[in-house]
Structure 1
């Protein structure tokens, strides 16, 4: 296996700047040590925020289309280094290689989106009630954007935020997951290469990287020079960040819990449904925020669909994610494997019938498990809890109203889908009385999202929106401007001044 040092060197990333004895980087593939890094102190975090703030004061005055040119150059760097960075993602997080490459492609796609956006930061012209006046809204850069990302998408989530933030005129301070700092180091190096190509208009400090744990995150979240905190991870983490941000009335942008569901209706195309179920449930070993966790199958099709799923699940190749043909790689660490086994034990105690789910030995290290298919008698307590592992709970239903109610019954609300060829069922699912999730798909699984659509969820998923649509507005501040082009100043009735 090509070493991490070789991969980083190929991207001109100087890992020596980050080496130390504080944080061990372990590959989930085999449990081997990849590197040992130093972590930033809270004081160093404050220094980096200060540098980012100074950079923002300059960057906000650069014309937006010019800012877009920096994002374009960064996209070029990603294209040139896609294979290398994708492989590093696989080594550090355990994703199969095609998923690692796909994550880098998402970074490239959002750069393309942001380049176009840099010429489309439009405001409205508003009709004034006063004669001889014009009103308009103007969008201005917001400031320093803090990005806190999770291990499961170690580079894509940062890019969703950063590409928009840079185009909007903001600077960015990034704290990656302690489980995936090496890919962040590589991305920072690629961005610095783009800055060097861009020239003096890109101020030093525009992109800052913080390596560390909760104390670094707290220092970043508490800094009054950071007007927006965008955080991806667990609901528990999001609530802690939200409380700290609320103390100083800072903005937050969250993408948190998923616990996503799919409904398979009587008219569904079962071949299409089967492929979507398996891809959504076992991709990234069930460690996606959009992974399929809950499957509601109508009684009329259950006896045809479930045997198909059991056969496919039993034959899924589990192994080294760098090997061609592997579909299911490792869980991120031992705690994740233990959490999966505890969830399966509880499912059995609540009446579930478990197929698969047992640990699998691959090589000399790593934490692997066969994906689990669990037939449940109803939506019991365990199904309200999101386990970040390849577990798919299956419940039968009789009416669409029952299925939608179960879809909406959990606290999380990120993504959902229905498989049906009945237009009325599809439209009902997408209506105000249907799915209460941020994403509601028809005949496509809940896992994965295109750059053009704003990505995020509702309820305990955080309610935030990153990436496409008008998500750029979260990274800017709006000013309403009124221009008086008449020769009179409108005053309150009956009040005049003698000048």
Structure 2
């Protein structure tokens, strides 16, 4: 699969490269630096991989810039077929990719397989979009000129992916860039680089030419990304991560007027109305809260339930949460794996302790288990004060705070009282109420009677400080294309 000298054996498939991918070649960092990738379920080292530095960052961008002109002229059908082959390879290797993600990120194997299927769909979706890039033609109002509008790749792109969905966030950025004809430098999260390296090797095997995708794994993320952004030759940045880091990257992007796509944090409200189907609402809340152990920007962070249903809803949700088996994601029957690291678990416990100190009642969970690994039990809290920290911070863990409400206008006001606006969830059996609340919520996406909104065919993104731009759907490729207008004078035709 690659010519890297250091490989990580995975039981279900090919070894995983551990070097840097620059200009189509796998290599160690010239500086010889490395870092370990930890299994969050055991605390043990999985692999030692190359720790890229500024020299590596410069070489990766050089390779992307050098490849841009020829890659941008590649026929759309060629780009489409590469993505289609990548889709087929990722799908064939579902168990392999799933095992890699479970080992380095912790999510249970069934969830990891679900992510593989989700991630692969971005490759298929954008393989179809590659051949549908179109322009426009018209005539100026005075009739003097023809207007010809074409679409061109924006140019070399900086891609930065998070640790919580390492495969899906990779394909969600790489696929539209490939489809549009852009080259890339990719910096995956230091906690989960193996998935990105496996994806890069698979893209090579699918026929992606050297230099189109370059990968620098590093623990010096700030310095490496700054090197790319201040260079002036990279023309776009696409980032998924925290709002705090997104603000910093936007300031840097301003210096060279880079195009920017930002998929940032969330503080999703989930509203259960008095007329909601209780079973649907509980299952929807469970899905919205527990996807990826709650480590998702789309996770339900604040659950508002009409007072007439709050008690029974909380009890049923607590019962469902308490029945989820916690453990190593490789083990059969496990539904909740570890959190990503000790810092992530400490934050979750801090938020639970703060809520308890302010009067919250714990129906289930709330205590860090003994033993190795960064596990945290599914937790349901009631009587959560509105001034609790977890009502204004992303929890990023398996904790569900339930707050009763009486008035819909008031709950909408509270739901919108946040700097974030990624997604909201509404449960009701009244169609007018469903659309009314969906329209009033200040979010980029709404789940109506469902806890899952993400789909490659739909535009993913938020408003306010949850981000800029959209990924996926028909608009996803637009982020990687520029318009070019050509004015062509009209010649008068021959007189008859």
Alignment partner of 1:314 out of 318, 322, 330 = 322
Cα deviation for residue 46 of structure 1 reads 1.1
Count of residue pairs the alignment pairs up: 474
Aligned counterparts, 1:135-284, within 5 A: 135-195=147-207, 203-212=209-218, 213-214=220-221, 215-284=223-292
Give 2:298's aligned residue: 290
Give 2:426's aligned residue: 418
Give 2:22's aligned residue: none
Cα deviation for residue 244 of structure 1 reads 1.0
Alignment partner of 2:360 out of 349, 352, 367 = 352
Cα deviation for residue 377 of structure 1 reads 4.7
Cα deviation for residue 48 of structure 1 reads 0.6
Cα deviation for residue 12 of structure 1 reads 5.3
> Matches of 1:225 and 1:103 in 2, distance apart?
33
> Matches of 1:181 and 1:162 in 2, distance apart?
15
> Matches of 1:459 and 1:191 in 2, distance apart?
34
Alignment partner of 1:406 out of 414, 429, 434 = 414
SS at match of 1:118: helix
Residue ranges of structure 2 left out of the alignment (5+ in a row): 1-6, 20-26
Are residues 310 and 273 of structure 1, via their aligned partners in 2, closer, same or farther at CA, if it must alter by over 3 Å? same
Note the alpha carbon deviations across 1:227-275, whole angstroms, 9 max, x for none.
Answer: 1111111111111111111121111111110111110001111101111
- Answer whether contact 1:258 1:290 (CA < 8 A) is retained: yes
Q: After the TM superposition, list the runs of 4 or more consecutive aligned residues in structure 1 that deviate by more than 6 angstroms.
A: none
Cα deviation for residue 127 of structure 1 reads 4.7
> Matches of 2:28 and 2:269 in 1, distance apart?
41
- Answer whether contact 1:11 1:186 (CA < 8 A) is retained: no
- Answer whether contact 1:131 1:486 (CA < 8 A) is retained: no
Give 2:442's aligned residue: 436
Q: TM-score, normalised by structure 1?
A: 0.91
> Matches of 2:383 and 2:229 in 1, distance apart?
41
SS at match of 2:10: helix
> Matches of 1:248 and 1:8 in 2, distance apart?
45
SS at match of 2:9: helix
- Answer whether contact 1:11 1:189 (CA < 8 A) is retained: no
Are residues 123 and 311 of structure 1, via their aligned partners in 2, closer, same or farther at CA, if it must alter by over 3 Å? same
Note the alpha carbon deviations across 1:81-137, whole angstroms, 9 max, x for none.
Answer: 111011111111001111111111122111111111012112233452022533232
2:373 is the counterpart of 1:366: yes
- Answer whether contact 1:41 1:216 (CA < 8 A) is retained: yes
Give 1:379's aligned residue: 386
- Answer whether contact 2:268 2:301 (CA < 8 A) is retained: yes
Give 1:10's aligned residue: 13
2:476 is the counterpart of 1:467: no
Query: Superposition RMSD on alpha carbons, in Å?
Result: 1.9
Are residues 442 and 15 of structure 1, via their aligned partners in 2, closer, same or farther at CA, if it must alter by over 3 Å? same
Cα deviation for residue 435 of structure 1 reads 0.9
> Matches of 1:117 and 1:8 in 2, distance apart?
35
Cα deviation for residue 221 of structure 1 reads 2.7
Note the alpha carbon deviations across 1:196-221, whole angstroms, 9 max, x for none.
Answer: xxxxxx54211100111322222223
> Matches of 1:313 and 1:111 in 2, distance apart?
34
Cα deviation for residue 179 of structure 1 reads 0.3
Q: TM-score, normalised by structure 2?
A: 0.91
Give 1:495's aligned residue: none
> Matches of 1:166 and 1:308 in 2, distance apart?
46
- Answer whether contact 2:40 2:106 (CA < 8 A) is retained: yes
Cα deviation for residue 194 of structure 1 reads 1.1
> Matches of 2:209 and 2:353 in 1, distance apart?
54
> Matches of 1:379 and 1:94 in 2, distance apart?
31
Cα deviation for residue 15 of structure 1 reads 3.2
SS at match of 1:119: helix
Residue ranges of structure 1 left out of the alignment (5+ in a row): 196-201, 489-499
2:485 is the counterpart of 1:480: yes
- Answer whether contact 2:426 2:438 (CA < 8 A) is retained: no
> Matches of 1:456 and 1:350 in 2, distance apart?
33
> Matches of 2:408 and 2:72 in 1, distance apart?
51
- Answer whether contact 1:168 1:472 (CA < 8 A) is retained: yes
Give 2:457's aligned residue: 452
